[in-house]
A and B are shown apart, each in its own frame.
Chain A
Amino acid sequence: MAAVTPEVLTSTHVEKMKKKKLPKRYWEETEKTDQSQRRPEEEQGKAGQNQNKSTVKEKSLKRKNGESLEKKDPFPGEAPIPQKQLQKFQRGKKCKVPAGARERLKEAIAISEAMSEHAQKQAARYDLLLPEDAGFLEGDEDEDTNTISQADIADAVDITSGSKYFNLHLSQFGPYRLDYSRTGRNLLVGGKKGHVACIDWQTKDLKCEMNVMETVNDVKWLHTEAMFAVAQKRWLYIYDSKGVELHCVKKFNDVLRMQFLPYHFLLATASATGFLQYLDVSIGKEVAAICTKMGRLDVMAQNPHNAVIHLGHPNGTVSLWSPNQKESLVKMLCHRGAVRSLAVDKTGTYMVTSGLDRKLKVYDIRAFKPLHSCFLPAGASCLSLSQRGLLSAATGEIVQVYQNVLGSNPVSKPYMAHRLRGQIWGLAYCPFEDVLGIGHGEGFTSMIVPGAGEPNFDALDTNPYRSHKQRQEWEVKALLEKVQPELIGLDPGQLSKVDQASFEQRHKEQIEALGFDPLAKDKFKPKTKKKGRSSAGAIEKRKRKVAHEDQRDEIRQSVQERTEREKELKEKSNEKKLGNKSTLDRFRK
């Protein structure tokens, strides 16, 4: 009983209060409408307030009446995001607010943290929209996957996938180099004896075919399918997709290998004369020409993560280059013999090298440390890494594909293998497809490698199915978002860091860059005076006066400093002396 009464009491109390303050109705007095007209927004605000209040009341009422009235949400709150996905989009470490921070700092950090967390969460949520998954090849029991032949695979898979295994018999113009366009639709092949052709390899539609009547060292697509570069015997040529010669770049001679940096619009070339040159294809200018002093450069790869060019040298070293530095960023000794081939993975974490000492080595190029190495009996002449991290190596006439090479576990046996006729000269994975293109002495072979390509593509960046219009739009946007060559460096996040160089250092750099000191004092120029006071002697005197003054200032300053120092020393010594002497010393015998 005692427990019940207080509740009743309180309810009645509330009721009484209600009686006292009857809600005012709007019809009670309408005479002074002009006043209400003045500030409608105020009323609005009040109305809003009231609404809020009443909703609160409503809720409480509902709760009192019983839970049955409310429909309970079986999954309350936001949909949870798995930790793994969140981690995938984690960018950097969170910043902790220091203990004694100012209010403004706290707020700034809080806002930025909240924003980045929101961005991370949203990105993780949208990861849902990447539904495709990579496949892989699975053998029967006691069956090695590398014994499965391409013909078997082509028979087993659907027709469209099966058609991706094909051979082009081009035995005349000798071993072929090849390159896939960034979208993976177009294929460019260049035979050593001058045969150049570009093909839409999926439809087998030949776009253009020609013979340049010269040795072809390398072929490379530029930013779109409309243009490609061919490194010929002497110069570098640029053709369009119809095979029309657009440019002959005579600044680039004896080019052996080429790499195209898509986000910088840079074509990097390595020549037989030991020059590494960068051509900006958006403005047609040579950005940098670096004499590497390392002899003939015929091994080249790019790091897609930071756009650094890797070069392999005959003395077993691999050097890393950026267009901003005349010397190599890093030089690492990888093999005891010459380096034969190089490949860098998509994330810029691993580098795979093969050398004349017939070893295949995997490096962690963030720490520049070797992870593991293995011995290939025939050595690998060509290396290529797929988007999903499959490594293909050309050993003699055989192409081997390795799985799980990148990482700490060593290579044991190939995932797949395919035998060809003739020497292998070019090896490249097709982006977004499970296809490996092989250029060899007898032509070109397209090989099916399950699990090679990235299953999900970024349609705004590289869309294999883009239309003509979309390509145009993409080109404009890409040009607008072009990354300047100055930003190439080992650390791609350098730009988001604070430059901590001292003022002197920066000043020195400025002087170097400009060729003069912008902060230097002007030389004293005496005024011309009349009445013979501007004679040569007088001018010289005046000049000397000023010069003396400058000198005097310096001397005065140094003298002052010295005297101060001496004073301090003296004081110190005095203190020492005094410290030794005590008043009680006089009583000593």
Chain B
Amino acid sequence: MQNENLVQISFFNQLMLVHPRKKQNERSEASVQVSEYFVNAEGTGDKVNLSDLLGTVEKTSGASNKTKKQLRNLQSSKETLELPLNKQQTEKIQRGIAYEKTTAEVSCWKNIILQNQKAEQMVFPLNQESSGPKRVEQVVAGWKVQTPLEQEIFRLLHGSRQPVNDPVLTPVEEQSLKAMSLEEAKIRRAELQKARALQSYYEAKAKREKKIKSKKYHKVQNKAKRKDFLKQFDEMVKTNPEGALEELKKMELSRMEERMSLKHQNSGKWAKSKAIMAKYDDSARKAMQEQLQMNKDLTQKMVVPSDDEHESIEEGLETVPDFVNDPETVIDPVNPWMRGQLTHEEPEVSCVTAEEVQTAEEENEEEEIIGEFERKRKLRQADEEDLIPTEEEHVVEVSDKEEEEDEEEDVSEFNTLFRLMRSEKTREGSNQTRGGLNTAGEEDEEGLLSEGQIRVRSIEDLEVLDEVVEPRAIEEPSAPQTAAAEATSEPPHKKKREINLKEVLTKEAKAVRLPFLPTVVDEEERDEQISIIKEAFAGDDVISDFIKDKSRQEAAGRPAVVDLTLPGWGEWGGVGLKPPRWKRKRFRIKTAPPPPRQDQKLPDVIISEKRTASVASHQVSQLPFPFQNTAQFESSIRTPIGSTWNTQTVVKNMTKPKVVTKLGAIIEPMVKEDFIKSKTTSAGGKGAAIMLGENRRAKEGTKRSKKREKMTTARSNS
């Protein structure tokens, strides 16, 4: 007891040490109740240790084991506390933290700054109210109840939940009104009601059924379900094959699972006990058999008769079925490799080959022959494809006609015709490349060319075409033609041929026939004139002059060789002595040859290589910022912006100023709310369109509280 007292005193002293200012004077007055604080201090020298206190804690029954344990641990640990960091280091850390904080704070501006930089046009001040007429709701929202009468009225209105402005509805309501008429809404509502009712019934039923514990009931139920399912499945195969396949897959999966597990294999505990009982108990035996049956059922493969098989079977009645050579059809939807068949040939419907196939069937020959037919047919098809595209139309047309007319004849005719045409074409092509000068041949070719251009629609047309072509071919070569006549009678088909510029250069000029006689000079006169001209220009050879001029220009363009040799240095000098070769080699400075001239390949043109400096002063000489090469920049300014080349709207759009400021308006610096607001509105778009003070505050309050929660959780985590 005394010991305890002592402890208390020393504790008191400790307290006193902690709060030295509150030292109170000892009072020595006598009193009835002796306070523990006014006990004389005896033995003040020895202080109370933690261990002393702990000892009492161990003994007290009220303290929890946990705290005791903790305290014991504390006692046993000998580690001293680490020294606090010195001032510089703490400050450094604090600065680091502050830097991070401020970067986080500032970086939230980053997006908006980027956005503004990218924006094609900025309008200041930023949050301008639209100049147009405001919506009634906006005006109402800004209105404040002032007079007591108004307050009274509003209280009444609020009490009875009346809208303040009678015709005014919330936008949501308006929208809903607009969305559907009353009748529609009613219908929809009724539908929904019904659905809801059904739902609730269904749910109630399910709940009730779920509660039933009878095994027999469930068994029956399951059986019924399975039956139902099978029925459904049969239907599904017909109506919805994809869904059926899905179901099949599911079944397959269950089968796999069954095969993997030992569930119905009579190897469980229950099964073993039943096996013992089976000898004597009929029901047990039955149960076991049922199990086995289940296993069998589940592991049985599902074989669905496919449509292909039906067909093949039907075919098989008449002839030898195709699939005899195929491997056994194992329809395994999971394994795609098992689904395939060996080379399955689709029955061809092509009219051209139908006959051939028939004969093949009749003769029932070996496959080799069929293969040969196939090859031939393919070759022919390739030939047909090579022909002009209009022939595709033929094929279609012909195939239509075939039903009416005799097939074989037409087809063969058609084929031969096209083969003929094709050979002609190739011949013509070769002629063109040869570029022969004989007129008769050319005319012939042109006739053929024109033939190629006539669009043939049907067999009759084809025949007509054949007739048309022949007389032409006969006629044209018979007519003798002069060079001039040829020029005049040149048909427009010649346009197709591209002019070779080189050829034109060397070509003779064509004479032009004139309608008025006097201007047409007789041949003799012409010759005379030519000779006169020749005489007149005999002295000046225009061409050689030009060539000289050109070579002079080229020479001027070439950089001159700088000769720095000094004769007499390091050797004998004098008249008639040449500097040695090494010297010439060393002191002659050659500069790099200039880039090839623009007129290098044009013999009769001299193009000046001088740079036009006059435009250079107006040109851009340095690539502007985002562009990496000149091509990009040039293409970016390739579209003119003037009104001469553009429509009015485009000009306005292209030349709109980057920054627009309202005259007289104060442009205040951007506030954080300006862009944070937009985010929040985008996030919480579900609220009412008009929200008055209280609501918003409530919302904000919730947001704030959420934020706070987040903060706390974050803190606790760290």
Residues of A within 8 A of B (CB): 5, 8-9, 11-12, 15, 21, 23-37, 39-47, 49-55, 57-58, 61-62, 65, 91-95, 98, 101-102, 104-105, 107-109, 111-113, 115-116, 118-120, 122-123, 125-126, 144, 146-147, 315-317, 322, 324-325, 327-337, 356-359, 368-378, 395-398, 400, 408-414, 417, 419, 458, 460-461, 481, 484, 486-487, 489, 494-501, 505-506, 509, 512-513
Residues of B630-680 at the interface with A, using a CB-CB cut-off of 8 Å, are 630-640, 642-647, 649-650, 653-654, 677-678
Does B432 belong to the interface (CB within 8 Å)?
Answer: no
Q: Is the CB of A36 within 8 A of B616?
A: no
Residues on the B chain within 8 Å of A101, using CB: 628
What 1/0 mask marks residues of chain B from 590 to 603 whose CB sits below 8 Å from any chain A CB?
Answer: 00000000010010
The distance in angstroms between the C-alpha atoms of A105 and B636, with both chains bound, is 11
Does B687 belong to the interface (CB within 8 Å)?
Answer: yes
State the Cβ distance, A264 to closest chain B Cβ, in Å. 13
Residues on the A chain within 8 Å of B617, using CB: 486
Does B695 belong to the interface (CB within 8 Å)?
Answer: yes
Contact of B141 (CB < 8 Å), options: A5, A26, A327 = A26
Residues of B within 8 A of A (CB): 118, 120, 127, 129, 135, 137-138, 140-145, 154, 157-158, 161-164, 170-172, 175-176, 178-180, 184, 188, 192, 195-196, 198-199, 202, 487-488, 490, 494-495, 498-499, 501, 504-505, 507, 509-516, 518-521, 526, 529, 533, 537, 540, 542-543, 545-546, 549, 599, 602, 604-608, 610-621, 623, 625-628, 630-640, 642-647, 649-650, 653-654, 677-678, 681-682, 685-697
By secondary structure, the A interface counts as mixed
Q: Is the CB of A35 within 8 A of B697?
A: yes
Contact of B511 (CB < 8 Å), options: A44, A374, A417, A501 = A374
Q: A49-B682, A120-B639 are in contact. List 10 more A-B contacts (CB 8 A).
A: A32-B693, A41-B129, A49-B685, A50-B686, A112-B635, A122-B646, A325-B610, A330-B605, A373-B504, A496-B634
The distance in angstroms between the C-alpha atoms of A30 and B171, with both chains bound, is 18
Contact of A371 (CB < 8 Å), options: B142, B504, B644 = B504
The distance in angstroms between the C-alpha atoms of A368 and B602, with both chains bound, is 8
Smallest CB-CB separation from A105: which chain B residue? B626
Residues on the A chain within 8 Å of B630, using CB: 497-498, 500
Q: Is the CB of B175 within 8 A of A58?
A: yes
Q: Is the CB of A42 within 8 A of B677?
A: yes
Q: Is the CB of A33 within 8 A of B144?
A: yes
Contact of B512 (CB < 8 Å), options: A26, A45, A108, A374 = A374
Q: Is the CB of B635 within 8 A of A24?
A: no
Smallest CB-CB separation from A1: which chain B residue? B232
State the Cβ distance, A414 to closest chain B Cβ, in Å. 7
State the Cβ distance, A370 to closest chain B Cβ, in Å. 6
Smallest CB-CB separation from A368: which chain B residue? B605
Smallest CB-CB separation from B492: which chain A residue? A409
State the Cβ distance, A379 to closest chain B Cβ, in Å. 9
Contacts A/B (CB < 8 Å), 26 sampled:
A12-B196, A23-B688, A26-B164, A26-B689, A27-B158, A36-B141, A41-B129, A61-B179, A92-B639, A95-B636, A104-B625, A119-B654, A123-B650, A327-B608, A328-B608, A330-B606, A333-B546, A370-B504, A410-B487, A417-B515, A486-B618, A495-B619, A497-B630, A498-B620, A498-B623, A500-B630
The distance in angstroms between the C-alpha atoms of A31 and B495, with both chains bound, is 87
Q: Is the CB of B171 within 8 A of A51?
A: yes
Residues on the A chain within 8 Å of B520, using CB: 377
Smallest CB-CB separation from B634: which chain A residue? A497
The distance in angstroms between the C-alpha atoms of A93 and B636, with both chains bound, is 10
Q: Is the CB of A147 within 8 A of B515?
A: yes
Q: With A8-B199, A27-B164, A413-B513 known to touch, is A498 a contact of B634 (CB < 8 Å)? A: yes
State the Cβ distance, A127 to closest chain B Cβ, in Å. 10
The distance in angstroms between the C-alpha atoms of A324 and B161, with both chains bound, is 86
The distance in angstroms between the C-alpha atoms of A337 and B621, with both chains bound, is 45
Q: With A40-B138, A378-B521 known to touch, is A24 a contact of B688 (CB < 8 Å)? A: yes
Residues on the B chain within 8 Å of A41, using CB: 127, 129
Residues on the A chain within 8 Å of B145, using CB: 30, 33
Q: Is the CB of A376 within 8 A of B172?
A: no
Contact of A34 (CB < 8 Å), options: B144, B516, B682 = B144
Q: Is the CB of A496 within 8 A of B637?
A: yes
Q: Is the CB of B644 within 8 A of A327?
A: no
The distance in angstroms between the C-alpha atoms of A22 and B366, with both chains bound, is 81
Q: Is the CB of B623 within 8 A of A33?
A: no
Q: Is the CB of B640 within 8 A of A375?
A: no
Residues on the A chain within 8 Å of B612, using CB: 322, 324-325, 489, 494
Smallest CB-CB separation from A55: which chain B residue? B175
Residue of B129, B625, B634 with most partner-chain A CB within 10 A: B634
Q: Is the CB of B512 within 8 A of A413?
A: yes
Contact of B543 (CB < 8 Å), options: A322, A333, A375 = A333
Residues on the B chain within 8 Å of A5, using CB: 202
Residues on the B chain within 8 Å of A411, using CB: 510, 512
Residues on the A chain within 8 Å of B487, using CB: 410, 412
Residues on the A chain within 8 Å of B509, using CB: 359, 373-375
Residues on the A chain within 8 Å of B164, using CB: 26-27, 30
The distance in angstroms between the C-alpha atoms of A359 and B530, with both chains bound, is 12
Q: Is the CB of A92 within 8 A of B638?
A: yes
Residue of A26, A102, A108 with most partner-chain B CB within 10 A: A26
The distance in angstroms between the C-alpha atoms of A31 and B414, with both chains bound, is 93
Smallest CB-CB separation from B699: which chain A residue? A24
Smallest CB-CB separation from B174: which chain A residue? A54
Q: Is the CB of A378 within 8 A of B533?
A: no
State the Cβ distance, A146 to closest chain B Cβ, in Å. 5
Residues on the A chain within 8 Å of B498, using CB: 408
Smallest CB-CB separation from B547: which chain A residue? A333
The distance in angstroms between the C-alpha atoms of A144 and B196, with both chains bound, is 88
Smallest CB-CB separation from B637: which chain A residue? A496
Q: Is the CB of A57 within 8 A of B542?
A: no
Smallest CB-CB separation from A14: which chain B residue? B192
State the Cβ distance, B123 to closest chain A Cβ, in Å. 14
Smallest CB-CB separation from B610: which chain A residue? A325
Q: With A32-B697, A45-B678, A494-B615 known to touch, is A23 a contact of B632 (CB < 8 Å)? A: no
The distance in angstroms between the C-alpha atoms of A123 and B654, with both chains bound, is 14
Q: Is the CB of A92 within 8 A of B619?
A: no
Give 10 nearest A-B pairs by CB, closest first. A32-B693, A54-B175, A35-B693, A95-B635, A116-B639, A24-B688, A92-B638, A486-B614, A112-B636, A26-B690
Q: Is the CB of B626 within 8 A of A104?
A: yes
Contact of B615 (CB < 8 Å), options: A46, A105, A125, A487 = A487
The distance in angstroms between the C-alpha atoms of A396 and B631, with both chains bound, is 52
State the Cβ distance, B175 to closest chain A Cβ, in Å. 3
Contact of A42 (CB < 8 Å), options: B202, B613, B681 = B681
Q: Is the CB of B692 within 8 A of A15?
A: no
State the Cβ distance, A27 to closest chain B Cβ, in Å. 5
Residues on the B chain within 8 Å of A509, using CB: 611, 613, 616
Q: Is the CB of B693 within 8 A of A45?
A: no
Contact of A47 (CB < 8 Å), options: B120, B533, B689, B695 = B689
Q: Is the CB of B677 within 8 A of A37?
A: no
Q: Is the CB of B692 within 8 A of A119?
A: no
Q: Is the CB of A460 within 8 A of B605?
A: no
Q: With A414-B515, A506-B621 known to touch, is A33 a contact of B141 (CB < 8 Å)? A: yes
The distance in angstroms between the C-alpha atoms of A375 and B533, with both chains bound, is 15
State the Cβ distance, B708 to closest chain A Cβ, in Å. 21
The distance in angstroms between the C-alpha atoms of A501 and B622, with both chains bound, is 10
The distance in angstroms between the C-alpha atoms of A334 and B543, with both chains bound, is 10
State the Cβ distance, B297 to closest chain A Cβ, in Å. 22
Smallest CB-CB separation from B118: which chain A residue? A107
Q: With A43-B141, A50-B689 known to touch, is A109 a contact of B519 (CB < 8 Å)? A: no
Residues on the B chain within 8 Å of A30, using CB: 145, 154, 158, 164, 692-693
State the Cβ distance, A453 to closest chain B Cβ, in Å. 21
Smallest CB-CB separation from A52: which chain B residue? B685
Smallest CB-CB separation from B202: which chain A residue? A5
Residues on the A chain within 8 Å of B613, using CB: 324, 509, 512-513
The distance in angstroms between the C-alpha atoms of A329 and B616, with both chains bound, is 16
Q: Is the CB of B162 within 8 A of A27?
A: yes
